[in-house]
Amino acid sequence: MAKDVREAVTGGKRALEALEEAIPGFGGYKRKEIRREADKLLRERLAGMLKEVDGKIHGVYEDVVESKMTEHYELMNAVTAVMDKIIGKVETADYGYAGFFSAIKVKEDALDAVYDFDKALFADVTEMEEKVDKLGEEVGEESDDVAKVAKELRAAIADFDKKFDKRKDVMLRLE
């Protein structure tokens, strides 16, 4: 990502928001809300990229079906199922909210750590996309390596899934 989303969110401050920050205690609250909003926007972009990769996977799956590569149907079903699961996880993930009376308080450094964690996931999505492209090439050539590359893709998606499951630990360990 070329521009840090946090800068885009904070860059559009209005005069009223500047005044709000002058109220004791409100500035810290507002900074947390900006961090949460930035992470939400980041995750929305991440989910969008995952959906694009998912679309490519479905396209490759159609090619597998058209080529009558029946031995790969089950593996491709597994790949699409795991991909659908992680898209749902990313779209519905916690964004670091803790109410005023909540027993668990999420600090600003925890929100920054979660943001950085989410930002690092983009590299994993890029890797998945490269594997899908490679799989598409293998299917197009009706190569013997289709299963091998599909398994690599499934492993990359599973790794992303496991990594994303650690997100909550990143948020909670910094309380």
- The reply to whether 24 falls in a domain is no
Rounded Cα distance, 37 and 27, in Å? 15
Q: Are the CB atoms for 144 and 72 separated by under 8 Å?
A: no
Domain extent at residue 159: 46-172
Which residues are CB-contacts of 22 (< 8 A; sequence separation ≥ 6)?
none
Query: What confidence tens digit (pLDDT) does each residue in 76-113 have?
Result: 999 999 999 999 999 987 665 444 334 445 566 667 78
Q: How many domains does the chain have?
A: 1
| pLDDT given for residue 73 in this prediction | 93
- The reply to whether 102 falls in a domain is yes
Question: Taking the model in full, what pTM does it have?
Answer: 0.74
- The reply to whether 30 falls in a domain is no
DSSP assigned state of 174: T
- The reply to whether 140 falls in a domain is yes
- The reply to whether 70 falls in a domain is yes
Residues of the chain whose pLDDT is less than 50? Answer: 2, 97-104, 174-175
Rounded Cα distance, 97 and 95, in Å? 6
Q: Are the CB atoms for 50 and 83 separated by under 8 Å?
A: yes
Coil, helix or strand for 5? helix
- The reply to whether 158 falls in a domain is yes
- The reply to whether 37 falls in a domain is no
